[in-house]
Amino acid sequence: GENVEQHPSTLSVQEGDSAVIKCTYSDSASNYFPWYKQELGKRPQLIIDIRSNVGEKKDQRIAVTLNKTAKHFSLHITETQPEDSAVYFCAASYGKALTFGSGTRLQVQP
Amino acid sequence: DTAVSQTPKYLVTQMGNDKSIKCEQNLGHDTMYWYKQDSKKFLKIMFSYNNKELIINETVPNRFSPKSPDKAHLNLHINSLELGDSAVYFCASSPLSTGELFFGEGSRLTVL
């Protein structure tokens, strides 16, 4: 089955800096790569996703890049704000259930 | 209107008891899931149902039994609860077309 590894497990940045979270996946058949944000005590919510026919996707301060050859994908958050503080999960799937990475706790210091 | 709702939100019980968690979605999605999130925040798939049929059953003890009476409902029954079952259980649904997961609010199970 699919295996998704995510790094770093914790990330602390100053407000206004950029944050980058990286994931690798094992199954070359995977074609859907979403990112979820989970605030404390809340449900995970989709913030951005990318499919395997696209190399990069951007939505305001958030961008995701995908390297299918290397089986890597990354989340980039620019101009971080305190409200970006949360746990971020990457995931991968090829039509079945999503397999999630282990999560990155992002702390944005004001 | 809540899209994916699950009850109860909190459940505290003794080891050895049996408990159920209910989930309903009003999004018209064909696929529903149960995920378990442990104390380290790992999100792990347990079961997946497509239109009432079980399509994924990960290595979950058979004390856990899902039931889908129709495609809008997916319940989880747990027998003989153990301390290690303490976790947050998330129900989710997704449309076949996109695969995007819509999560319920979670049910925090504490086994004493």
How far is the alpha carbon of B26 from chain A, nearest alpha carbon, in Å?
17
> Looking at the complex, does the CB of residue A29 fall below 8 Å from at least one CB of chain B?
no
Q: Note whether B3 contacts A: Cβ–Cβ < 8 A.
A: no
- What angle (nearest 5°) sits at the alpha carbon of residue A94, between those of residues B30 and A73? 125
Q: Render pLDDT for A98-109 as a digit per residue (tens, 0 to 9).
A: 999 999 999 999
Sign of the torsion formed by the C-alpha atoms of B84, B99, B48 and B23: positive
A103 to B48: CB separation less than 8 angstroms, yes or no: no
Phi, psi of B96 (to 5 degrees): -65, -30
Least confident of A51-55, B25-29, B94-98: B94-98
- B43, A89: Cβ pair inside 8 Å? yes
Q: Half-sphere exposure of B70 toward its Cβ, with a 13 Å CA cutoff?
A: 5
Residue A83: helix, strand or coil by DSSP? helix
pLDDT tens across A17-50, in order?
999 999 999 999 999 999 999 999 999 999 999 9
pLDDT in tens, B8-59: 999 999 999 999 999 999 999 999 999 999 998 899 999 998 888 888 777 7
